[in-house]
Structure 1
Amino acid sequence: MTNSLSVNAAKELIDFINNTNYQLAPFCDGAFSSKSEAIAYVEGAEYNSEEPLSICFNTRQGNYWDSAQVTFSDSEWFIEDQAMGGKWSKGESIQKAIEAFRLLHNPTCNYYPDELIFNAHLFQ
């Protein structure tokens, strides 16, 4: 599995997540507060494509966010949660990779990711 997310792929991810109930965060950091902050980060000198962005999602237990790293290689998106037993998925699109990742989890578990919902516009 690849471990990188180019600037162009990161911008595609930012645009996609902007229209959902999920959020984005830099590698091992808190969530971005806006789309413009996320874009500035990936265009900046401190962005390292080998430390990819993370999608952040609420979980079944409510009011508890978890995250997973997103990478892109050879026209496939990968989602990996290294903290939750190494679960990972891939898909031809960001949406398919996220949905496949969610289905890997037990729906009765408190850490079950919320369903991906469009037009939530958490970023402005």
Structure 2
Amino acid sequence: MSRCLHTTDLGCIACDALTDLGAGKEGWLVDNLDLLIFLDTHSVALANRSLILILHWSSSNNGGPDPDKNRVVKIRPDLFPIESEYISSVEWLVFDDKVNRVLAVETSHGYLLIYSLHGNLIHK
């Protein structure tokens, strides 16, 4: 039985904003245990303990952002620094057949933050 290899290029996410997450150092993607990665149809969200980057690689006719205008969105949630609150989980929420997509962020203190694809806080 032969092995089938099917790959589809989604696009390139290389950008200067990745240095905020440690890119540029050898093994940054593998060795960083705090890095969370979440894939969506037209975007990828990368998060560490205090920063979320949403990287768009293709345009979407379903209400998504134009990659030429908002290719990279930086989100810095308002975290409580005294007790070392951090981002503990991130997940894409998709409504109405991918027309409406948001990013749900959970913090270590149990807060649920909902962000738009443009980085606006919708609900806390």
User: Which structure is higher in RCO with an 8 Å CA cutoff and minimum separation 6?
Assistant: 1
**TM-score (normalised: structure 1):** 0.32
Q: Quick check: which one's strand share is greater?
A: 2
Structure whose alpha-carbon radius of gyration is higher? 2
Q: Quick check: which one's helix share is greater?
A: 1
**TM-score (normalised: structure 2):** 0.32
